[in-house]
Structure 1
């Protein structure tokens, strides 16, 4: 199978280099059967079909409240286990129907293969598309399918048919009907209605407390926020400053002497530049301080 992987990858590379690079980015060792970990569990399926089937069966139960939903799921599981127990008890073969289904699918290709015997239970098996080495003593094949699944592959089944061997002697014990029946020996116990259930020391579930809402806290007086150095003072502080300024202006003790204004144009004291500007417009030129006083 490793050889088939390399051959198919080379064919893909010859067809399109970009597609080959995209496939190699996904690390083919993680999804190629040739690199599966062989640990004796005899399972080649890597998917979530069981979970999808379970989710499909509890579709109507999800619409119910929590307790009725769990009770519906419990009854469905209990009924399904009972049906599987009856089916396993009535199965007459040594191995499960799954094994017979796989062997029936491989029978046509295994019947036309060619085998060459070797020593120590080893055989070279040639099919229409490839040839592999089979070890009937160790129950292994270079295709790795027999090692992973625990069920004879096409090459091993071809040796079994050509040598008139019993296929049941080369199937893993994981597929025994006795183990299948033992899986459903202990199932869920039927229960009475909720009124007959025993009560424990745990208190009943009540209404949960209202969670704290986001926003400003109500206890503003107790927890006042301190402003930073660069922040503007509050309105109360501004009003206090204004009141202090008024008090200082009204009190005679702290009054400051008035400034004597001077004109920028004539340099006279006691007036500004506006009267001088008016005199200049009338054609009298610059006005001195005495003239401004007379006009006023």
Structure 2
């Protein structure tokens, strides 16, 4: 989100980040106040997809709020009191899985009532109720009488400043980006693995350009003599009938 401001000076970058966060918090707060449903929009969309996927499932009551849910390929145990399912999806995410949704509808209830409170609209509004206070301009700042800080002389290296930040050694990598680590290197022309174009030895000889030119001329002359028709001295070619 802050890639647009990483090449700016430190004060300009921090000011850009402050304004960006201030407007983002206000937009989030205004958007959730206009939302009419109980769950957050993204969680509600995910729950609607699970409702469609739960249609082939059937629930069989076993005990008090205990059901066995089965489909053509799988079977799980759902407990509505503990809000658990043997598939572990509901336990880990707090969102009812396909088996739990089938059980909830069999129990004549709605899945939104069994979703974790952290996904509710009230929780979302509680998070974004605080706003960043606006800041007056530099002309309205209080004078302290202290000497003005001097900027340090920073050596600017040649080239364009980088926008991507440096990652730590223990920071997890991007799971959606293919890594080139432990991937066998393959030469494009020779189609052999274990080296690249710099280390490829295919087609490399120790002859100088002058020796290579003479060799190619000799090979061209030899091919011309082989392809030429062989004629005997003193014999004329016979005319066609």
TM-score range, shorter chain: 0.5 to 0.7
Equivalent of residue 19 in structure 2, options 69, 72, 75: 75
Q: C-alpha distance in 2, partners of 1:92/1:202?
A: 53
- Determine if contact 1:111/1:161 at 8 Å carries over to the other structure: no
| C-alpha contact (below 8 Å) 1:134/1:155 kept by paired residues | yes
Residue equivalent to 1:94: 38
Question: 1:206 corresponds to which residue?
Answer: 150
For 1:161, the equivalent position in structure 2 comes to 105
Q: Matched residues in 2 for 1:129 and 1:204: separation?
A: 73
Report if the CA contact (8 A) 1:109-1:127 is conserved. no
Is 1:147 matched up with 2:58? no
Query: Quick one: distance in 1 between partners of 2:117 and 2:68?
Result: 26
TM-score normalized with structure 2 length: 0.59
Report Cα offsets for 1:134-181 as digits up to 9, x if no partner: 000110011111011111011001112233312222111111111111
Alignment coverage as a number of residue pairs: 154
1:183 matched to 2:127: yes
TM-align CA RMSD: 2.1
Deviations 1:98-120 (A, max 9, x none): 22112111122211101111112
Check 1:209–1:112 CA distance in 2 against 1; reply closer, same or farther (3 A cut): closer
Alignment of 1:251-262 (within 5 A): none
Gap change, CA 1:201 and 1:93, over 3 Å in 2? farther
Deviation beyond 3 Å, 4+ runs, structure 1: 199-204, 207-210
Change (3 A) 1:128 1:102: farther
Q: Which residue among 124, 128, 138 is the counterpart of 1:194?
A: 138
CA distance in 2 between counterparts of 1:129 and 1:102 reads 22
The structure showing larger relative contact order (alpha-carbon pairs under 8 Å, at least 6 residues apart) is 2
Corresponding residue for residue 206 of structure 2? none
Greater Cα radius of gyration, structure 1 or 2 = 1
Matched, 1:173 2:117: yes
Q: Deviations over 1:39-90 (max 9, x none)?
A: xxxxxxxxxxxxxxxxxx2222122211111111111111111110011111
How far residue 93 of structure 1 moved from its aligned partner, in angstroms, is 1.2
User: What are structure 2's unaligned runs of at least 5 residues?
Assistant: 155-241
Structure in which a larger fraction of residues adopt helix = 1
Inter-partner Cα distance in structure 2 for 1:201 and 1:117: 78
